[in-house]
Amino acid sequence: MALPQLIPSSSSSLHHKPTFNPNPIPYPLNPNPNFLSPRLRRSHHHRRQRPGSLKCSASSFSERHPTNQPKSDDVVELPLFPLPLVLFPGAILPLQIFEFRYRMMMHSLLQTDLRFGVIYSDAVSGTADVGCVGEIVKHERLVDDRFFLICKGQERFRVTDLVRTKPYLVAEVKWLEDRPSNDGEEDLEALANEVESYMKDVIRLSNRLGGKPEKDVQDLRRNLFPTPFSFFVGSTFEGAPREQQALLELEDTAARLKREKETLRNTLNYLTAASAVKDVFPST
């Protein structure tokens, strides 16, 4: 279910009208890995002059605690898969792999640790520096050597150096973790509950405007702690990948929840006005 319009927070640089989906359903995408940001190009040039490197389920958001988190100061090599979307920790992403170089990547991954980096890329902004590890939880290899994958988002990372670009991107990355808020008294539970309340109101009004039966919205947090819940909320902002990327890059749970609350509040105000207009001028 997508809303007619999502109004980004004032800190967003969006210039288009994205949508919001409280129950995101990912879909197979064709990879478009041909974009490199100037920073990554410079990193690759520098890398070539410096040989040697450090080597390294049921529900999309069913876990309260992340498990086996790497240390934030670890540096590892990770194959990268640029895509025109943003993967969040805990989210499920199906993919169809048919391009030769990524079939090569899959053959290698299926013999190792089944993990690769999903990183946002588009023709305007190039390839982002921050992405999310996708872990292959299910796969099917077809007779023509294509792959169908089900991946789950794990930890976030920041690209620190580009190791190579062919046959596919491989980079050195450092892991990202949310840091404690600057305001030590920040009540993350209360903030997460506010965001959930706005989400429920947005869903109700969206259903009303869409002519769907009005019914109580079920529990959206599903026992999630504030940090994974903030990732879940970000994953619902479909059609706004740059805003999603900004949310992914934040290293402060409170800042992420506040930005999401502002976006949802703006969207709710828009929907409230649209609903009032509809009541005064009902469609025939």
**What would the 3-class secondary structure string for the chain be?**
CCCCCCCCCCCCCCCCCCCCCCCCCCCCCCCCCCCCCHHHHHHHHHHHCCCCCCCCCCCCCCCCCCCCCCCCCCEEEEEEEEECCCCCCCCEEEEEECCHHHHHHHHHHCCCCCEEEEEEEECCCEEEEEEEEEEEEEEEECCCCCEEEEEEEEEEEEEEEEEECCCCCEEEEEEECCCCCCCCCCCHHHHHHHHHHHHHHHHHHHHHHCCCCCCCCCCCCCCCCHHHHHHHHHHCCCCCHHHHHHHHHCCCHHHHHHHHHHHHHHHHHHHHHHHHHHHHCCCC
Domains with residue ranges and CATH for the chain: 75-175 (2.30.130.40), 188-280 (no CATH)
Confidence at residue 72, expressed as pLDDT on a 0 to 100 scale: 59
CB atoms within 10 A of CB 24: 19
Mean pLDDT value across residues 35-41: 39
Mean pLDDT value across residues 42-60: 32
Cα 154 to its chain centre, rounded Å, is 10
Q: Is the separation of the CB atoms in 54 and 77 below 8 Å?
A: yes
User: Which among 66, 89, 253 is positioned nearest to 178, based on CA atoms?
Assistant: 253
Confidence at residue 228, expressed as pLDDT on a 0 to 100 scale: 97
Confidence at residue 208, expressed as pLDDT on a 0 to 100 scale: 86
Query: What is the C-alpha to C-alpha distance for residues 25 and 35, in angstroms, rounded to an integer?
Result: 26
pLDDT tens for 200-245 read: 999 999 888 888 877 778 889 999 999 999 999 999 998 899 999 9
pLDDT tens for 58-105 read: 234 444 444 455 655 688 999 999 999 999 999 999 999 999 999 999
Tell the residue number behind the tokens 């969207």, with chain if given.
267
Confidence at residue 16, expressed as pLDDT on a 0 to 100 scale: 35
51, burial (CB in 10 Å: exposed 0-12, middle 13-18, buried 19+): exposed
Collect all residues with Cβ–Cβ distance below 8 Å to 277 and sequence separation of at least 6.
none
Provide the pLDDT confidence category of residue 283 given band limits of 50, 70 and 90. low
Higher pLDDT, 108 or 52: 108
Q: Establish whether the linkage from the previous residue to 167 is cis, with ω within 30° of 0.
A: yes
Q: Is the separation of the CB atoms in 120 and 126 below 8 Å?
A: no
pLDDT at 159 over 80: yes
Confidence at residue 275, expressed as pLDDT on a 0 to 100 scale: 82
pTM attached to this predicted model? 0.76
Tell the residue number behind the tokens 């046959």, with chain if given.
167
Amino acid occupying residue 238? E
User: Which among 76, 79, 77, 81 is positioned nearest to 35, based on CA atoms?
Assistant: 81
Collect all residues with Cβ–Cβ distance below 8 Å to 255 and sequence separation of at least 6.
181
Confidence at residue 71, expressed as pLDDT on a 0 to 100 scale: 59
